[in-house]
Amino acid sequence: MHGPVSIAWLLVALCALTGAYCLLRMRSGVEEQRRAAGGEALMGFGMAAMAVPAAVFTPPRWAWPVYAAVFGTAALRALWAARGAPHHLHHLVGSAAMVYMAVAMAASPPAAHHGHGGTGVPLLTGALLLYFTGYVLLSGARLVPAPASAGGGGPAHRGDRPELARACRLSMGIGMVAMLLAM
């Protein structure tokens, strides 16, 4: 990742912690929530690995096509899941953005991995930035607490709490904006 090392490490921490929390969400009793949490865990850990500062670790050239293949597979899975549940389209866009970043890193010369910017297609990067910025703003607005309803049900499992899942997605959206800005 390009940019200041301290920001890169903060991004690594944010994405890794989000991925770890998504693994915890996979204990949900609801099948659909487990699947979504698994995809989000993959995204969180993948983003964390991509955000490691190049000064600390530069992945070998073969790693970028592997990233592209893994997230290409995730994108196909999200596309398949979106047939019945349109909210999976966001997972499709996120996976496609990861493929795009991996391809851009694979196509850039090794010296560019240590510099600032200059990788990727500016128009596509801009479109992805616009999408994820809008997603972050919308997700943040959805986290505003609603008035409490009378007589709530029993205690919910941590993985079944929608506000925590939204916070998880919000933090990954923020991470994606930061990664796209660094391109």
- What tokens appear for 100 in the block? 């795009």
Specify the pLDDT at position 43: 94
Q: Which residues contact 156 (CB under 8 A, 6 or more apart)?
A: none
Specify the pLDDT at position 116: 47
Specify the pLDDT at position 115: 45
d(CA 90, CA 12): 21
d(CA 71, CA 43): 8
d(CA 28, CA 162): 11
Q: How far is CA 72 from the centre of its chain?
A: 14
With beta carbons less than 8 A apart as the criterion, state whether 167 and 89 touch: no
Considering the entire predicted model, what is its pTM? 0.83
3 Ramachandran zone, left/alpha/beta (phi>0; psi -120 to 50): left
Tens digit of each residue's pLDDT, the chain (183 residues): 556 788 889 999 999 999 999 999 888 888 778 888 888 999 999 999 999 988 888 888 899 999 999 999 999 999 998 888 888 899 999 999 999 999 998 887 765 554 445 678 999 999 999 999 999 999 999 888 766 554 455 555 554 677 788 888 899 999 999 999 988
- What tokens appear for 167 in the block? 């916070």
